[in-house]
Chain A
């Protein structure tokens, strides 16, 4: 499956983002392939996180941000005025740099999404909580202390809890903003392994500054430099034969 030819979940059309007068993203057009792991790489400050946040509309509540162009999710422009923001966000699970657990119990963290979307029956909630904690590989560790505050978990466990919480709203897309940067190597590996198993069912979009991680998990690579997409393509092609000299320099560690 090659990008652009099939109907994809997420397409960017001439997307530009400004912080005040500063243009952070420049005229980006991209198709994100479905059910693969797309990794956005690039030096820090090149707009990776901005690109990710523009996809679930967390960006437009920030002060002084202007957005031009279109972001199509399932063919629908999510910046169109009549669009319901909550419905868009429900389609995407977000993993942030530092895990942000909610100030409630482990159980309530996972049940939070389903509950606000109207699920009340205890038995169904129990099943959902167990199911997604298992997918995130956390169930065995927490099954006896579901009512404990989520903040008592280790950082690595918290990040997997955030993953379970995000999956529990049944999204189609998983967004990860350097989700392993605050974690120890063992926990990072756990999260990576989770993402690899999830790509059969979800479209995964990952931002990372760790090249080795990109090599381990990526199916598709987007190289972002100073707010522009320099190069994108299947991972093995970009890694083996980068077309642009800047991509080559970045992969060799000459720009960072």
Chain B
């Protein structure tokens, strides 16, 4: 147990330390609050506000979309499907396979969609691609949580004359809320850190995106582009961007913990 814990903690510590050591010198307020100026990727001034905002737009939008796609799926799997029937197991199997599909494949799918529809790389397309990456993760994680809701609890609601939908919405969802928040968070974390699926579909821009149909910047691509330059100071900024990305995920994890604690007070044990 101690070995496992220290191994996990050490790896985490090592990764964080490596990023911090490399990037902390380049980290300053300019990077967080400014847009890149001309020649930024050659080492001139400015920041990556465009990528920070862009990443939040992409991952936030995709998480909301994926949530409303996943919810009906898990309600079907856990409440509406006939117990022991064929379709739920097929659904679960398909989602498990989709979970394992590499994100570049989703990117390629989004790219194909783009050429068929005649769109160009845009925030909307990035959101759609990231959402399809998120749906299997989110719905399987939510599915596992809903499976843990005791059958007797739904029966208590049914016995009061509630329909399945009322039971799902008012009782099951409420009981499972802490776990559902976690599932949403896992999916969000996966989406905000993913580079491959936005590479071909969301494009990149040095400005803040204000429309669904414009290209959008993102932190993983900011890291990718900056690491690819031959200038050490620009590479350093890539690590600074990685610190920012890690901090965003840390902040959202802490926020979710607070929310979970608040909602867990009604959970029946």
CB distance from B179 to the nearest CB of A (A): 12
Contact A116 B158 (CB under 8 A): no
B261 interface residue per 8 A CB criterion: no
Nearest CB in chain A: distance from B260 CB, A: 14
Task: Classify the secondary structure of B's interface with A.
Answer: helix
Of B105-113, B162-170, B242-250, the one contacting chain A is: B162-170
Complex contacts, B268 vs chain A, CB 8 Å: 100-103, 150-151
- Judge whether A89 and B159 touch: CB under 8 Å: yes
| CB of A117 closer than 8 Å to a CB of B | yes
A89 touching B83, Cβ below 8 Å: no
Residue B258, interface by CB 8 Å = no
- Whether the Cβ atoms of A149 and B266 lie closer than 8 Å is yes
Instruction: Write the nearest CB–CB distance from B60 to chain A, whole angstroms.
Output: 28
Q: How far is the CB of B30 from chain A (nearest CB, A)?
A: 48
B96: interface (CB < 8 Å): no
Q: Are A166 and B159 in contact (CB-based, < 8 A)? A: yes
**Which of A58-66, A131-139, A225-233 lies on the face that meets chain B?**
A58-66
Residue pair A112, B160 in contact (C-beta under 8 Å)? yes
Number of chain A residues close to chain B: CB under 8 A? 32
A87 to B83, CA, bound (A): 23
Interface string of B167-181 (1 = CB under 8 A from A): 000110011000000
Query: Closest CB-CB distance, B172 to chain A, in whole Å?
Result: 9
Complex contact B170–A112 (CB within 8 A): yes
Pairwise interchain contact B163-A86, C-beta atoms closer than 8 A: yes
Contact of B153 among A93, A102, A113, A149 (CB under 8 A): A102
Nearest CB of chain B from residue A97's CB, rounded to whole Å: 9
- Contact residues of A between 79 and 119, Cβ < 8 Å to B: 86-87, 89-90, 92-94, 96, 98, 100-105, 112-113, 116-117
Known: A96-B155, A101-B156. 17 other contacts (CB 8 A): A58-B158, A62-B83, A86-B163, A89-B160, A93-B160, A96-B152, A100-B150, A102-B174, A103-B268, A112-B160, A117-B161, A149-B266, A150-B268, A151-B266, A151-B267, A151-B269, A162-B156
Closest 5 CB pairs of A and B: A90-B161, A63-B83, A94-B159, A100-B156, A103-B175
